[in-house]
Amino acid sequence: MNNFKELQKKYKELENKYKLLSDLMDMVPDVIYFKDTRGRLIMVNQTHAKGLGLKPEEVVGKTDFDIFPRERAREMAKDDLHVMTTGKPIIDKIERATRVDGVDNYASTTKIPRYDNKGKIVGLIGITRDITQRMQFERLREEKALICKKIEGLEELNRMKSEFVSVVSHEIRTPLAIIKDAVMLLIDEVAGPLISKQKEILTKAKNNIARLNDIIEELLDISRFERGKIKMRYSLVNLSDLLMDSFAFFKKLAEQKGVGLEYDLPQGQEINIFIDAGRINQVIANLVNNAIKFTEQNGKIRIEVRILEDKVRVVVMDTGIGIAKQDLPKIFNKFIQLASESQVKRKGVGLGLFITKELIEKHGGEIWVESELGVGSKFYFTLPRFYTDKILSKDIRDKINNLAEESLPVYLVNLLIVNYAQFQKEFNIDSIGLLGNLKVFFEETFEKLGAGDISACSPRVCLENYKEGEIGILLLKAGEEVAVKFCDLLKNRIRKYFAAQNLENVFINLGVLPYDSKSQSLPASRLISSINIKKIRVGLEKRRFRRIFYKADIEILLPGEEIESSQTIDISEGGICFIAKRKIETDSRIQVKLKFPKVKPFCVMADVAWIKYIEEAPGIGVKEYKLGLEFINLKTKDKKIISKFVRSRL
Ligand code: ADP
């Protein structure tokens, strides 16, 4: 009886073991097989049989010669023989086989000899694993490493090219200036009177020298951008004044071609923005010159400025030859010229718009174009609008005066938190803590300057106003380079600080304020040769409406009854911002359906205020558009819903 029970128990155990082993055989994705000494399969698992389109029992008795092409089977038989005659296993042998459809398959095979009770080899166990994906991944990794290396090489070449362009351009500049002076002397008849034909020839030479000069300046700009060496000199500028400064010049230029030119500037509202006036002048000159260049007689050019919620938008419109739809995405690329057969080859090298775009983006603005062949073009750009601030107060001036030695350059680096009270409230920062931290950053930054730089100047904190949120430091005997380096390091440090605190919407920018010693009424006896003021301003972006970053579903009703679904990036009581798959024309009025949670979807009207091109990869072309919409004629009811929604999430 006992014996029977024991047998039953043993049987149960064996049954369990068998179940476990057969589960293992059937569940693993690897091919498992047993062969006898003659290479015949005596047992295979499901994966093996399935791969051959058979059942496991149908495979039993077959050899590799029945299954695989002869050459391959022979190779396998050789391995089998090796394992079974030497008793040495083959571990993880990687083999490649090309599938019928041409795709390479990779497998890793392990073959282990099998012994009987007496230690005699009676066959082998084989396991084969498909490692195609792993191999593909490894190949991709190798390819990636190779491409990275190639890119590094190209970057190095590009850097060398930029440096070469820079050196050559600089070298050409000097002799060109000498040639220009010589030609001017001749034209001005300093070297003797000229007959009109001679004057005509020399004037042509002068014009071409100017053209060459422009090209050299453009090449220098490009190499500066590429080497990250472009320096911006920001100051507080009245945009209308800036535009009006060049109005007469362009008007005359346009009239010479029989083209009308008019400016439409906002009346009764000052636009003081923080920009590099020289560079923005360059942008305007590029766009207006192009408009004149590509507009025929009797055409019209119009420059319009509009104040948006937190930006200023400028558009240069012309009724010229226009740009074909397929050319629009590449118009801001380097060396693009689209002269068609019917057009005369125009002057220029196709760098103007590229430089224009870089300059606008450096200012934190957007630039885009709308155009139709034969109708005209509209080049738009925006610039951020920030608070203006006051120039030096009297006690600071006195301090500078007391500290500075006569006839030495002095740099005042002044950090001001714009709208300090609101800033503190919004970010819940106590003034002692914040200003204390910022003061430490000043000291740290100074220590970070190289030893040579430090010995050149010694800093003095000359202003600490915890109530107004202002710190000033004087760099005595410092040169421009040291001051710029100091400001850049300081800005980076502050930027990191705000980022670490998760504070969004903070702007940090550096300005150079004109310091007019006369209007600042310094005592003449103590006049310092030069005071340079670098103002770092930290603040909240100026907006009429507070915006929240919120993804709400929206539907845009496009002209022609088409509907595009999207999500907002941010929402304010003034408008929304979202990504659109297709372009919608600037200023076009569209209907937007807003879908806020727990509120019935509702429609509002909005104008397309600004557009930002988003490229998937540089040079590939525009893929998406980031659009800023401003609400128009909001119904009181809708206004209330939006306002409640935004405020509840502030
Ligand atoms: P370029 O200095 O050669 O004019 P840009 O970068 O300023 O170079 O312009 C590149 C090309 O874009 C021009 O050659 C022209 O084909 C086209 N383009 C620029 N502005 C206009 C415009 N207002 N109307 C039509 N085509 C334009």
Q: Is 364 helix (H, G, I), strand (E, B) or coil?
A: coil
376 Cβ below 6 A of ligand 1: no
Phi-psi region of 119 (alpha: psi -120 to 50; beta: other; left: phi over 0): left
Ligand 1 pocket: which of 337, 347, 349 to mutate (most atoms within 8 A of CB) = 337
Phi-psi region of 53 (alpha: psi -120 to 50; beta: other; left: phi over 0): left
User: What pLDDT, on the 0 to 100 scale, is given for residue 517?
Assistant: 43
566 Cβ below 6 A of ligand 1: no
Residues 6+ apart with CB under 8 A from 372: 322
Distance 215 CA to ligand 1 centre (A): 14
User: What pLDDT, on the 0 to 100 scale, is given for residue 284?
Assistant: 96
Triad 334, 338, 340: Cα angle to 5°: 160
Distance 406 CA to ligand 1 centre (A): 51
288 Cβ below 6 A of ligand 1: no
Distance 301 CA to ligand 1 centre (A): 15
User: What pLDDT, on the 0 to 100 scale, is given for residue 22?
Assistant: 84
| 379 Cα nearest atom in ligand 1 | 23
Is there a contact between 446 and 433 (Cβ–Cβ < 8 Å)? no
Residues 6+ apart with CB under 8 A from 438: 415, 471, 494
Q: Whose CA is nearest to atom 21 of ligand 1?
A: 290
DSSP letters spanning 253-273: HHHHTT-EEEEE--SS---EE
Residue 428 DSSP class: T
Is there a contact between 512 and 533 (Cβ–Cβ < 8 Å)? yes
Amino acid at 146: L
The two structure tokens encoding residue 629: 């919409």
215 Cβ below 6 A of ligand 1: no
Residue ranges in the chain modelled with pLDDT below 70: 1, 99-102, 235-236, 339-348, 386-409, 419, 431, 450-461, 504-505, 509-533, 535, 537, 539-544, 616-622
| Burial grade of 281 (CB within 10 A; 0-12, 13-18, 19 or more) | middle
323 Cβ below 6 A of ligand 1: yes
240 Cβ below 6 A of ligand 1: no
DSSP letters spanning 538-582: EEEPP-SS-EEE---EEEEE-TTS-EEEEEEEEEESSEEEEEESS
Helix and strand numbers, DSSP H then E, in the chain:
16, 24
Distance 290 CA to ligand 1 centre (A): 6
- pTM recorded for the entire structure: 0.62
Give, for 643, the enclosing helix (H) or strand (E). Answer: helix 636-648
| Burial grade of 285 (CB within 10 A; 0-12, 13-18, 19 or more) | middle
299 Cβ below 6 A of ligand 1: no
| 351 Cα nearest atom in ligand 1 | 6
Helix axis angle, 431-448 to 420-427, nearest 10°:
100
Q: Whose CA is nearest to atom 20 of ligand 1?
A: 290
318 Cβ below 6 A of ligand 1: yes
The Cα–Cα gap between 424 and 270 comes to: 28
Q: Whose CA is nearest to atom 2 of ligand 1?
A: 348
| 286 Cα nearest atom in ligand 1 | 7
- In 3D space, the residue among 92, 164, 98, 100 whose CA is nearest the CA of residue 129 turns out to be 92
User: What pLDDT, on the 0 to 100 scale, is given for residue 577?
Assistant: 93
Distance 257 CA to ligand 1 centre (A): 17
Sign of CA dihedral 492, 494, 499, 503: negative
Distance 214 CA to ligand 1 centre (A): 15
Cα dist from 181 to 171, 172, 185, whole Å: 17, 14, 6
Rounded to 10 degrees, the C-alpha dihedral 545/549/555/557 comes to 40
353 Cβ below 6 A of ligand 1: yes
Long-range Cβ contacts of 134-141 (<8 Å, 24+ apart): 134/106, 135/94, 135/104, 135/106
290 Cβ below 6 A of ligand 1: yes
User: What pLDDT, on the 0 to 100 scale, is given for residue 423?
Assistant: 77
Is there a contact between 378 and 313 (Cβ–Cβ < 8 Å)? no
Q: Whose CA is nearest to atom 23 of ligand 1?
A: 291
337 Cβ below 6 A of ligand 1: yes
Q: Is 1 helix (H, G, I), strand (E, B) or coil?
A: coil
280 Cβ below 6 A of ligand 1: no
Distance 210 CA to ligand 1 centre (A): 19
Q: Whose CA is nearest to atom 11 of ligand 1?
A: 337
- Tokens 């086989």 sit on residue: 97
Distance 259 CA to ligand 1 centre (A): 17
Ligand 1 pocket: which of 218, 225, 290, 328 to mutate (most atoms within 8 A of CB) = 290
Distance 322 CA to ligand 1 centre (A): 10
Per the DSSP assignment, residues forming a β-bridge with 380 are: 315, 368
331 Cβ below 6 A of ligand 1: yes
User: What pLDDT, on the 0 to 100 scale, is given for residue 127?
Assistant: 94
The two structure tokens encoding residue 109: 């095979």
| 291 Cα nearest atom in ligand 1 | 23
For the beta sheet containing 260-264, the strands, ordered from the edge strand earlier in sequence to the opposite edge, are 260-264, 300-307, 311-318, 376-384, 367-372
- In 3D space, the residue among 273, 245, 452, 434 whose CA is nearest the CA of residue 365 turns out to be 273
- In 3D space, the residue among 294, 296, 379 whose CA is nearest the CA of residue 338 turns out to be 294
Distance 68 CA to ligand 1 centre (A): 65
Q: Whose CA is nearest to atom 7 of ligand 1?
A: 352
User: What pLDDT, on the 0 to 100 scale, is given for residue 529?
Assistant: 44
The two structure tokens encoding residue 218: 């453009």
Q: Whose CA is nearest to atom 13 of ligand 1?
A: 337
User: What pLDDT, on the 0 to 100 scale, is given for residue 516?
Assistant: 45
> How many Cα atoms occupy the beta-carbon half-sphere of 308 within 13 Å?
27
Distance 337 CA to ligand 1 centre (A): 6
The Cα–Cα gap between 511 and 468 comes to: 19
The Cα–Cα gap between 188 and 168 comes to: 30
Q: Is 433 helix (H, G, I), strand (E, B) or coil?
A: helix
Residue 386: what are its φ and ψ, rounded to 5°?
-125, 170
Alpha helices, DSSP H, located in 391-534: 394-403, 420-427, 431-448, 451-456, 480-500
Is there a contact between 305 and 240 (Cβ–Cβ < 8 Å)? yes
Distance 251 CA to ligand 1 centre (A): 19
